[in-house]
Each structure stands twice: as structure tokens, then as C-alpha cells.
A and B are shown apart, each in its own frame.
Chain A
Amino acid sequence: MRYSGWKVVLEGLRGNRGWKPAWRDPAPKAHYDAVIIGGGGHGLSTAYYLAKNHGMTNIAVLEKGYLGGGNVGRNTTIVRANYFLPGNSEFYSHSLKLWEGLEADLNYNVMHSQRGLINLFHSDGQRDAFARRGNAMINQGDDAVLLDQDGVRELLPYLDFEQTRFPVYGGLLHPRGGTARHDAVAWGYARGADRRGVDLIQNCEVTGIDIEGGKVRGVQTTRGVIRADKVAIITAGRSGQVAAMAGMRLPVESHILQAFVTEGLKPVIDHVISFGMGHFYISQSDKGGLVFGGDLDFYTSYAQRGNLPMVEHVMEAGMTLMPMIGRAKVLRSWGGVMDMTPDGSPIIDKTHIDGLFLDCGWNYGGFKAVPASGWCMAHLMATNESHEVARRFRLNRFATGHLLDEEGTGSQHNLH
């Protein structure tokens, strides 16, 4: 079924009785050309682009829970391309371009809103660093505007500019940055993949990966054995456990990252604001809730909930930056399981096992990467070659020293 404004009007007049499920609920087949473990944003977009760009339609996505029930359903929805390092810059630039055409491509409203993202800076040194970053973004073909304090004041008059700890010197505006509706991205890709013949199999947990003679043969699941010529592990925070089924240890630690949303308010914050020095960032959802988050709790966890010290820290940072939000009531908080790599950059690569591919290590930046991650992973699985914008996301880069340390803090597990 194709969605359109006319269809909405027509169904409204007919009591909305004509809507059909957006995707099928097929039983797993005995054999697929490729199986994707993980029905989150990255897995679904990989399936979609395998079908659309490479004509591979005899494929399945295996999801142990329900589609989009992990991090793509529990994040702060920010979409941006403001990276500095070669290797990251071209990848996120590619992703943002895909975002800009996503709704037309998927025929699905993902509510992509390019409301502008502002990274605040608080010293001369930080201004220089952001000027360099902005130049790198412009060189990449994206947009960046360096704002002085008056420039920020014009856009965000409600900030506390004179706070003594981190006075606001200015900000780097990324006009094409913004937000999107997190669930809709998963659902849009799921529907798109399903319409091209991909089997989306839910409540199907992979319990083993079959390998014979250094080549992958398929997977064991709670719904039986599935043979496959190619298998992709796209399981975010759970990558370590799934890779262990193939006898692999990954350069990944799973950490908890908390986020928060307030009750719905009238429009008050028109942009995405990032206050890096306070580990705080915020935007306002279309429903009116203030959506904000901070830094990792900084210990490994799969609990999908954090502890109170980081809650307090985030609230303090928010109050420091914009005291006006102090009267807003927090509605709920949640935690996502982040697959953290030592250098803070992701992995899209083959493994030493023929036919087994890996897409993980998205740290706390996986949402904006969903389109390009799927695009590049599909390219890798179909052609056995890394896509040109993802060629530095190698699994062995920690051993070879070809690091992608965007924050410049070092390559060590407790630093990102």
C-alpha cells in the first residue's frame, strides 16, 4: 500500500478500515542468500539497501524481540554531519544526504526536521577548534556557520551566557543538522525492505552461528536452523555475545547511556543545542517534550537503565545552561546499551570467517548513521569490498594503529 495525503483523507472518510499491516509476518525459510542478525535501524536499512541497490531479495532479518525495539527506539534522534576526521567526515556526510531523500525514497514520513544544530564553545581555544571543524565540514561539502556570542544570543536568547564556569563565547551552527522520528525510521526501512521481498522474522533469537572450514553456513535459531551463504552481525550492544558464537572477541565494551524527556511544553527550543563542556544536549520533540541527555554512566552495563549520579549531573548541566527549564517536569528516563569501541568510531567490515560480516561499534552516535551504515554494509555484503565512505571502519584498526579518534582523547576503553 502506497501512503499519500489522499489516502489519509480517503481512509478518514471510510472509518480507517482499509489500512493493512505495513509488513508481512513470514515463517523462516530453510535457506537464504543472506541473513541479517538484528532487526534494529542498522539491520533493517542494510536489508533495504541489499534489496534496493544490489537486487538481493532472498534475505531475512532475524530479530529476537520486535523490530526497532532496541536503540533505534530509545535514542535522542539527532541527525548531523559535523565530523572532523577523514574517514568519519565523508561517511556522515553521505548519511545526511540519504536522510534528506529518505522520506521520498521510503514513502514514509520519518519527520526529518533540519532545524539546525548548535555546538556551543566557551573559550578562545575551543573557538579555534570549532572553526577548524567548521572548515572541515565545509570542505566535505556540508554546511557550517561560526557564530559569535551575539549570533548565538539571536538564536538562543534563553541561555545563561554569563554563567561563571562555562560562559558562552559562541557556537558552531550546522544548519542541515536536526532530528527525526526514531521509530518511524525503523518502520519505514522495515516496510521498504518487506515490500522488496525481504523476510522480517521477529521473535527469532539466534543461538549459534554455523561455520565449516572457515566459511559461514548459517545460523541456529529459536525457530530452527537457517542456512545462509552470508551472515551479518548487526546487534549493537549485544555484538559481543553474538560474535562469541563465531568464536570472536571484539574491541567493544557495552555501556549505558541515559536520556530524558519532560512533559509536553509549548514550542520553546527551536534547535538542537549541544553543550559539550557540560555533557548535555537538548532538543524539543514535535510533541513538545524536551528531549535531553548527557554522557555515559561509564561502567559496562546491559541493564537498559542507569544510576542516579548521571541523572543528577545531566540535570545540573541543563540548569547551568538554561535555567528556564527548571520548572519543567521530567516525564521519564531510559538507558540504551552503547557498543563502545576504544577510539569511539564504528566498525563495518568483513571478519576472518568467509561470509561473516560485522556492523557494530556505533558508540553513542548510531542513529544518524542508520542510512549510511545500511548503505555501506549492503555494499560490503554484496560486493565483498568496503564502500568508499566506510573504508576506514576496519575491525583490525586497533591492532594496526589506524585509529579514528574523533574526540582526540586517546584509544582506550574507558575514554569514550
Chain B
Amino acid sequence: MRLTCPLCGPRDRREFTYYGAGDYLSRPDPGAPAEAWDNYLHLRDNPAGPTRDLWYHDQGCAAWLLVSRNTITHEITGVELVADRKGGRDEA
């Protein structure tokens, strides 16, 4: 499995650390109720098929990446810099 880092190009999976689901881009406001934080920290759609998750290029440019992947085929369909997103947050 190889990820194409927008800054470094195609690199081996070993250079990257998986952090978790793209849910992490939708951080609740500090004053949000506990259920919102439980939803953000723990509950997951855990899709079988297309998914988006956060990876960290720790053996490369140290960028945070939003990776679009298929969890059944391991196909990588897109890699973008989290830094390119407004405020690093998920607009979706």
C-alpha cells in the first residue's frame, strides 16, 4: 500500500501513521454537550467501502493528510493536506 503525499509524492505505507476516522475533523465546540464529544471521540460509522481518515506523514514531511480509501479493496482514491482545509476543519 502506498500513499501519494501531496508534498512528497508516492511513498510507502511505512512512512505514515494512521490516526483515525475523518470524524476527527469535526471537533465539537468546547461547550458542546457530552453526547457530542462521545460521538466525536468514540462512535464511528466504520464503513465497509469508501472511507476518509487521517494519516500523519511522520517519516516524511510531517503533514496531516486526509486520505480517501476503500476499506474492502485497500484502494487509495485521494490524499489531501488537512492544512488546505479552512481552519483544518471538515466543511462537509
Contact = CB atoms under 8 A, between A and B. Distances in A.
B21 A413 contact: yes
Interface string B40-61: 0111111110010100000000
B35 interface: yes
Contacts of B19: 414
Contacts of A238: 48
Contacts of A398: 38, 41-42
A300 interface: yes
Interface stretch (A202-210, A243-251, A348-356): A243-251
Contacts of B34: 399
B77 interface: no
A413 B13 contact: no
Contacts of A298: 17-18
Contacts of A412: 20, 41
Nearest to A342: B42
A140 to B, nearest CB: 28
Interface in A362-414: 398-399, 412-414
Contacts, number: 72
Contacts of A251: 42-44
Contact of B74 (A252, A303, A309, A399): A303
A252 B46 CA distance: 7
A301 B18 CA distance: 12
B24 to A, nearest CB: 9
Contact of A414 (B20, B35, B45, B74): B20
Nearest to A312: B14
A253 B74 contact: no
Contacts of A6: none
A309 B14 contact: yes
Nearest to B12: A309
Interface of chain B: mostly helix, strand, loop or mixed: mixed
Nearest to A396: B38
Interface residues of B, number: 28
A254 B41 CA distance: 16
B56 to A, nearest CB: 10
Nearest to A304: B72
Interface of chain A: mostly helix, strand, loop or mixed: mixed
Interface residues of A, number: 24
A298 B16 CA distance: 11
Given A249-B44, A254-B46, A300-B46, A307 B1 contact: yes
A241 interface: yes
B13 A240 contact: no
Contact of A302 (B21, B43, B45, B48): B48
Which residue among B1, B12, B21, B39 has the maximum number of chain A CB atoms within 10 Å of its CB? B1
Given A241-B48, A300-B53, A414-B19, A307 B42 contact: no
A307 B3 CA distance: 13
Contacts of B43: 249-251
B57 to A, nearest CB: 14
A16 to B, nearest CB: 41
Interface string A77-93: 00000000000000000
Interface string A290-311: 0000000011111100010100
Contacts of B71: 254, 300-303
Nearest to A339: B46
Contact of A303 (B17, B42, B72): B72
Contact of B46 (A253, A309, A414): A253
A300 B1 CA distance: 13
B42 to A, nearest CB: 4
Closest 5 CB pairs of A and B: A240-B46, A249-B43, A251-B42, A399-B38, A398-B42
Interface of B: 1, 12-14, 17-21, 34-35, 38-39, 41-48, 51, 53, 69, 71-74
Interface of A: 238, 240-241, 244, 249-254, 298-303, 307, 309, 342, 398-399, 412-414
